[in-house]
Amino acid sequence: MRLTLNIWRQKSANEPGKMVKYDVPGVSEHMSFLEMLDVLNQRLIKQGDDPVVFEHDCREGICGCCGFMIDGVPHGPQRGTTVCQLHMRYFKDGDELYLEPFRAEAFPVVKDLLIDRSAFDRIIAAGGYVSVNTGSPQDANSLPIMKQCADMSMDAASCIGCGACVAACPNASAMLFVSAKISHLGLLPQGQPERDRRALRMLAQLQEEAFGACTNYGECEAACPKGIKLENIARMNRDYLKAALSYREEASAGGAA
């Protein structure tokens, strides 16, 4: 099949970008979307042009590197699919598509479709962890965990941090991402000691990063390639409210007084 692609081309963070039209013939329906771009890039390189820069790594939907907008939808039209796993059989001959980077103040464009998502890393560093003592592992069954909690935690943990939720949100809010991280730890016993602090710190960092606020549109949930649920945002709001009202500072430096 033959496609027409309008791709956002931007040389660097500080230069203005624009949409450029490309004619892409000879696309096989067995290609993935990224393979189709590889073919285009091969041709651009042969012509002596700059290839289209896009981020990718695993190409199997688990690392969270890939992602850009296809016709205004993060990762393209197929629900529950990262763009690396999106196959060309979902498109038809003659389609004209618009490819743009995920857009948010907090996600500056580095080049073309490549954005800087280190804001997410800083949010994780602010509280998206559990502190554990390393050493020999404890017995696997010493901490009983309800099946339902384990399942919900695993569902939240399937967030790959790609940023599609931010890209889809009309407010460029990162609440779905943060709530997934807060939920997957907060649903497990290991996540309890730092639960209050985690909600306060991750949300404070979220605000530092210039993401918008949630107005419950639900676009994030619909666009998420991993099916992260809005329910997580409600849980995050609960955690935040409880923490904001009841959190206590350490009374002393800790240890035996």
Q: Which residues bind ligand FES (CB under 6 A)?
A: 56-59, 61-66, 82, 84, 160
Contact 142, 131 (CB under 8 A): no
User: Whose Cβ is closer to other proteins: residue 38's or residue 221's?
Assistant: 221
Q: Residue 19 touches which of other proteins, ligand HEM, ligand FES, none (CB < 5 to 8 A by kind)?
A: other proteins
Residue 39 is encoded by which pair of tokens? 């073919």
User: Whose Cβ is closer to ligand HEM: residue 118's or residue 215's?
Assistant: 215
How far is residue 145's CA from residue 86's CA, in Å, rounded to a whole number?
35
Q: Which residues contact 112 (CB under 8 A, 6 or more apart)?
A: 7, 8, 9, 10, 17, 52, 53, 54, 101
- Angle (deg, nearest 10), helices 118-127 and 175-186: 30
- Binding residues for other proteins, rule: CB under 8 A, are 6, 8, 19, 69, 71-73, 98, 100, 103-106, 125-127, 168, 170-173, 197, 200-201, 203-208, 210-219, 221-223, 230-231, 233-238, 240-241, 244, 247, 249
Minimum separation from the CB atom of position 77 to ligand HEM (A): 26
User: Whose Cβ is closer to ligand FES: residue 60's or residue 96's?
Assistant: 60
Q: Residue 11 touches which of ligand HEM, ligand FES, other proteins, none (CB < 5 to 8 A by kind)?
A: none
User: Whose Cβ is closer to other proteins: residue 136's or residue 246's?
Assistant: 246
- Binding residues for ligand HEM, rule: CB under 6 A, are 215-216
- Alpha helical stretches, state H, 173-225: 175-186, 195-208, 219-223
Residue 54 is encoded by which pair of tokens? 């896009």
Contact 187, 149 (CB under 8 A): yes
**Listed residue (231, 161, 157, 239) closest to 198, CA to CA:** 239
Q: Residue 63 touches which of ligand FES, ligand HEM, other proteins, none (CB < 5 to 8 A by kind)?
A: ligand FES
User: Whose Cβ is closer to ligand FES: residue 63's or residue 124's?
Assistant: 63
Minimum separation from the CB atom of position 75 to ligand FES (A): 8
User: Whose Cβ is closer to ligand FES: residue 110's or residue 130's?
Assistant: 110
Q: Residue 212 touches which of ligand HEM, ligand FES, other proteins, none (CB < 5 to 8 A by kind)?
A: other proteins
Contact 200, 147 (CB under 8 A): no
- Strands 114-115 and 69-70, how do they pair? unpaired
